[in-house]
Structure 1
């Protein structure tokens, strides 16, 4: 029996499509499904895919019972499937019915991962059509528990594992990955997974989850996404003793050994995939995160979602909230609990935005922003003992030991939590915020839900319904005094897929702070009056692909303006270009 599908020419893959359509800007759409996100724009090529039993085992092309009778004959599938032929929409309904039967979120997560390994297009169709319901399943908070138990639930590798054993061979390892045209890599070393700490090799759940969102929310095609975990060991004693642990059983490599491995990795990535591949650093510990971003930001296309993505989404929420709390950005005073990657990253982007709007030096605008770490308010008298990334936030003030004291001393209008420690916005802290502000803006950003600085119910109850509240993990609506309050979710998933798509469609070779500001501004403008009426400062996720297209267009426009875009000529309509570039998971007809 023949083992391949009919050869399909003119770049049309195994699909029936018009290979000659074009998108705005003159890029030829030779892939149909993938649009302008592919670099091989006009070169005709030949492509074959296994058929018969092997086709049903290939998640990229498997359609299950949606194969038509003609396709079953043509591709040797007759008898390998039950007689019923169903639509993709019916498959979606059946799967959602099945997933809703599970009461434990981790079971829903496992069911979704198994679907992704079985039928890729159906996975994305289910996720896109039910994004608000499934986002907490495939991403925070459930992905945190999945990482903690990754060794036990691990079945099939979904990305590349690069450990110290691969030192000197990383380029060869990258070439083992079957896809050649990679546009986005999400990489972690597992040292600081969400607010859960060092999970070592089991942090792979984060890159896998993030890249699912790059496709579902940002439209970057799945075959262009590569999840990677760099395993340098773990300091988590529980994992080192766990018989099911899947990583290196040694303590973390540090210093020169660590730096050399990361440098080899970054060099190999550029050598194998070129200048335009986006490398997104995810859940690295503070000391490595800042260093890697500074070191490779000038030579590679890199993004740190914890520092830059978080900052962009929080800034968008703050800008949107001005319509509810009044005043301009420069009129407000900000107090952070947490001075790590997220806290200092958000603070710096807010300072940059105020600087841009008021034409004031950023050194001045930083003085409106105060940070509290584990030792109290960051002030000048502590400067000599501070880590370098905290020093810009050391202002002239008497020492203050705790958050409540800092709230009373600073009297902020905006309180932001990025501490990774749950229940730190106490009743006294929230009531103090309410005593100084008619509408206090309270952002409890730490993930997962168990680490949130306070709950939505606490924020609304302790402020007598006056708080404008958003959190990192989702909370259900809260009823207080007969009124229903809908808490917003300051989720990075609003922003990084759109940023990534914008970088891809412009062919950008560097990420600039102005692109992050452009992304924030685009997100803030997507909040409607209807959203504001519910107290929301973020739009609903049901519109996320439209939102991502606007963010992508803003980011791409800034890339062209800054001269770091390589995809020329610039499309006339960047929003239209972004929308037409997006991967869509509907099934294709096979010849």
Structure 2
């Protein structure tokens, strides 16, 4: 009996600490195990927030919240939902970047599922060790390209853990239906390999066919044990990211958030920006700095959006230009990857500034992982060419942003329409307060995932990302735009996610890729499904 009572307090899914009532304490054998006071959950939330605000560093706040998630899951999500603007940067970007770098040093207790090359041939068997039988969402990484930080090996587990916390906080997917997975195939990071505290597979990375076979075995095991599960690929190196996306996008319910989620949230921001500039989306020219998976993913979805507006494929691609570390991406170059070739136009190769002058883009999107690459000269040049230059500095974490919000507004004399991948505070420029909107993927992937799960979709084609982007753009209010923000406030995120989920599910039913019948009242069905963390 005594052990059972203690087990309740030690089980994060059951524990509610000092919020157990007197009657519950009597019934469950908890008398004497808790302080006298019986508190509301709201009071506990306030105590947690007081503790967070007393900490001196964000990594300490991250550790506090991680420990809370382990000991009282409902309180953790109540804190996250009620204070989302303050908590999201702590449980995901930018703090998750530092947490991932230090993962092996701040490790407290295991969360999630680990697969290594030693598990080849046994993945289906060891997956039975996971205690839940109804998994609906899986986030998997191999840790090779964590945010803009590079190869962090098994330390990259912080990313799936954080991403799934947002699925629950932002869209209400029940936490017991979420599974973070680390495909730990080694690391080429010598610093990690020489670190005695490193927790990962202590070898160079598995590559080539052996790597692909391990991924395939995992996918097949998931299809067998969790046939309704959506698999989200996260923070894979560009060649693997595209390779896995192309392998599985038409086979299973899956997507790559770095490519497709980033694309949808960026597209939504571009749609919204047209309400400020007065220029229609179809008439826009876009230049990307960076030509990796995130940038080309945005371009690919924009092509689909342009074609949806009536342009030919060739016309759509000519609206989009790329600059990488070698300069303007043009047809004469011989060093391009396959995903860059559709955007290699006939033009003279030039540097970034000269490319801006020759292309004269309306929108500049940075996805470089290289801080400070949107220099004063770049912003000023865009401001000469455009009454309201649209500037997206999307690289994460904040330390990797192409420019800051203050720089964009100052160098453009307040003309820029700015958005970023990580959060920036309000900027007061010449008496006007700008609230820079964060192009956070959390505006898209939780609602998209919820909609796909509700419809039990078989795949996630581009049409679902397009409808998610359009829905998000429509939810941007005139007040948001007047503040300079291309996205709604994060405090609205649960409502936004439900609206996106409805639109995505409706599209899935219409496209006949839903494996479940459409409920008579879709919104009510979704609202009844979502998780609420109240005691």
TM-score interval, normalised by the smaller of the two chains: over 0.9
Which residue of 1 is the match for residue 347 of structure 2?
397
Which residue of 1 is the match for residue 307 of structure 2?
355
Distance in 2 between residues matched to 1:525 and 1:61, nearest whole Å: 39
Which residue of 2 is the match for residue 368 of structure 1?
319
Distance in 1 between residues matched to 2:392 and 2:523, nearest whole Å: 30
Which residue of 1 is the match for residue 248 of structure 2?
296
Distance in 2 between residues matched to 1:456 and 1:72, nearest whole Å: 51
Distance in 1 between residues matched to 2:278 and 2:317, nearest whole Å: 20
Check if 1:543 corresponds to 2:500.
no
1:138-287 correspondence runs (5 A)? 138-274=91-227, 276-287=228-239
Unaligned segments of structure 1, at least 5 residues: 4-50
Distance in 1 between residues matched to 2:499 and 2:51, nearest whole Å: 34
Check if 1:58 corresponds to 2:6.
no
1:66 is displaced (CA, Å) by 0.6
SS at match of 1:262: helix
SS at match of 1:381: coil
Distance in 2 between residues matched to 1:432 and 1:311, nearest whole Å: 25
Which residue of 2 is the match for residue 311 of structure 1?
263
1:446 is displaced (CA, Å) by 0.1
Check if 1:452 corresponds to 2:401.
yes
Check if 1:345 corresponds to 2:289.
no
Distance in 2 between residues matched to 1:199 and 1:456, nearest whole Å: 28
Distance in 2 between residues matched to 1:403 and 1:415, nearest whole Å: 11
Q: TM-score, normalised by structure 2?
A: 0.99
What root-mean-square deviation, in Å, do the aligned CA atoms of Structure 1 and Structure 2 show? 1.0
Which residue of 2 is the match for residue 580 of structure 1?
528
Deviation track 1:494-535 (CA, whole Å, cap 9, x = no partner) reads 110000100111111110100000100110111111111111
Check if 1:106 corresponds to 2:59.
yes
Which residue of 2 is the match for residue 387 of structure 1?
337
1:580 is displaced (CA, Å) by 2.8
Distance in 1 between residues matched to 2:520 and 2:380, nearest whole Å: 51
SS at match of 2:491: helix
Query: Of 409, 426, 438, which residue of structure 2 is paired with 1:489?
Result: 438
1:2 is displaced (CA, Å) by 8.4
Distance in 1 between residues matched to 2:289 and 2:32, nearest whole Å: 62
Distance in 2 between residues matched to 1:194 and 1:334, nearest whole Å: 23
1:413 is displaced (CA, Å) by 0.4
Distance in 1 between residues matched to 2:24 and 2:2, nearest whole Å: 15
Query: Of 25, 41, 46, which residue of structure 2 is paired with 1:93?
Result: 46
- When the two structures are aligned, how many residues end up with a matched partner? 535
Deviation track 1:98-152 (CA, whole Å, cap 9, x = no partner) reads 1110120000000000000000000000000000011100000000000000000
Q: TM-score, normalised by structure 1?
A: 0.89
Deviation track 1:229-282 (CA, whole Å, cap 9, x = no partner) reads 0011101111111111100111111111111111111111111111x2100000
Deviation track 1:369-405 (CA, whole Å, cap 9, x = no partner) reads 00111111111111x43111111111111111x2112
Distance in 2 between residues matched to 1:577 and 1:394, nearest whole Å: 46
1:82 is displaced (CA, Å) by 1.4
Query: Of 476, 499, 507, which residue of structure 1 is paired with 2:456?
Result: 507
1:572 is displaced (CA, Å) by 3.6
Unaligned segments of structure 2, at least 5 residues: none
Deviation track 1:397-427 (CA, whole Å, cap 9, x = no partner) reads 1111x21121111110000000111100011
1:564 is displaced (CA, Å) by 0.8
Deviation track 1:299-353 (CA, whole Å, cap 9, x = no partner) reads 1111100000000000001001110011211111100001111000001111111
Query: Of 323, 345, 360, which residue of structure 2 is paired with 1:411?
Result: 360
1:286 is displaced (CA, Å) by 0.4
Query: Of 112, 124, 132, which residue of structure 1 is paired with 2:77?
Result: 124
SS at match of 1:336: strand
